[in-house]
């Protein structure tokens, strides 16, 4: 097997008395898309900053391309941070020229979708186009690894799909990808997942591994609002899909007792990734 591009073992980062990342392990190999999931404050960005060598770990072992994270290692990867890393007061073409100079790479072509905006200041082209530009800048020097921190946040579904086409094309060409996301549809496109909660990796593996330990019951009733309130008051983890009530990790007897005399049909259903994540985060808390 090829050597991992990223290898983190028992990585911990403390800020005084606060532990932002606690004993987290993960690997990313060539051609693999690994999703890093978790709510805001789960420790995802802190972990990424350690992988990039921008923040030293307090404990644990961390390797980027087989060595300690370094400037040389960072030259072999493409990074799209949450803030995109673009310069608003430079044009589209000037941003790419700056990145080319920094990486001593060939001239990166302006994406076709941005051809009409090459002379416009980046601050005036809109978030969706800015993200396309950030992807182009990250890929221009032919990286072996992509690190993407919430790369599609705030863009419309069509732009999000196009950006994910770029992610898959890169992985198909052998580039490893580490991506954080809040979108469940995006998480389902990853080869493996690592779920973080309060700095801890509470689950890892393929989608089936994350969902496998969770159960769900569909609660079918015309009085869905009353059903939701009754289950919530009883401490059941309850979620909504439109007006459809779903009880997560609760046995049928407990659900019926919580519903009292409310007429409802219960049916076991396959839990969603979001339900599994919420259940694991709840148990971890």
Write out pLDDT tens, residues 71-87.
888 888 988 888 888 88
Same domain? For 149 and 163 the reply is yes
pLDDT band, residue 97 (cuts 50/70/90)? confident
Same domain? For 100 and 236 the reply is no
Dist CA 69 CA 237 (whole Å):
41
Residue ending a domain, choose from 192, 210, 228: 210
Residue ending a domain, choose from 210, 235, 250: 210
Count of domains for the chain: 2
Q: Is residue 1 part of a domain?
A: no
Same domain? For 71 and 26 the reply is yes
Same domain? For 179 and 91 the reply is yes
Same domain? For 229 and 162 the reply is no
Name the pTM for this structure.
0.80
Same domain? For 197 and 223 the reply is no
pLDDT for position 40? 79
For the chain, percent of residues with pLDDT exceeding 90 = 35
Same domain? For 153 and 39 the reply is yes
**Domain with 236 in it:** 213-284
pLDDT band, residue 285 (cuts 50/70/90)? low
pLDDT band, residue 10 (cuts 50/70/90)? very high
Query: Which whole number is the average pLDDT over 197-223?
Result: 86
Q: Is residue 18 part of a domain?
A: yes
For the chain, percent of residues with pLDDT exceeding 70 = 98
H runs (alpha helix) in the chain = 44-51, 71-74, 92-103, 127-139, 157-172, 184-187, 207-212, 224-233, 252-259, 273-284
Q: What is the CATH number of the domain that holds 230?
A: 3.30.70
Residue ending a domain, choose from 189, 210, 231: 210
Same domain? For 108 and 217 the reply is no
């Amino acid at each position: 097997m090829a050597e991992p591009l990223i290898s983190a073992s028992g990585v911990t980062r403390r800020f005084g008395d606060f532990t932002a990342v606690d004993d987290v392990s993960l690997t990313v190999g060539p051609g693999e898309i690994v999703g890093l999931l978790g709510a805001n404050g789960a420790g995802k960005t802190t972990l990424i900053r350690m992988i990039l060598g921008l923040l030293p770990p307090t404990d644990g072992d961390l390797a980027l391309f087989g060595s300690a994270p370094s400037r040389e290692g960072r030259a072999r990867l493409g990074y799209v941070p949450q803030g995109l890393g673009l310069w608003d007061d430079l044009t589209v073409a000037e941003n790419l020229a700056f990145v080319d100079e920094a990486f001593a790479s060939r001239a990166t072509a302006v994406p076709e979708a941005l051809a009409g905006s090459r002379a416009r200041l980046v601050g005036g082209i809109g978030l969706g186009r800015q993200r396309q530009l950030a992807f182009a800048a990250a890929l221009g020097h032919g990286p072996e690894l992509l690190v993407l921190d919430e790369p599609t946040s705030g863009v419309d579904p069509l732009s999000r799909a196009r950006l994910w086409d770029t992610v898959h094309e890169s992985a198909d060409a052998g580039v490893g990808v580490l991506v954080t996301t809040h979108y469940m549809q995006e998480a389902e496109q990853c080869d493996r997942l690592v779920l973080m909660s309060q700095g801890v990796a509470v689950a890892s593996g393929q989608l089936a591994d994350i969902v496998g330990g969770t159960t769900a019951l569909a609660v079918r009733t015309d009085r869905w609002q009353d059903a939701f309130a009754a289950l919530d008051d009883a401490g059941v983890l309850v979620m909504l899909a439109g007006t459809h009530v779903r009880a997560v990790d609760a046995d049928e007897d407990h659900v019926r007792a919580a519903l009292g005399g409310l007429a409802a049909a219960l049916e076991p259903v396959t839990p969603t990734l979001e339900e599994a994540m919420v259940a694991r985060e709840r148990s971890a808390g």
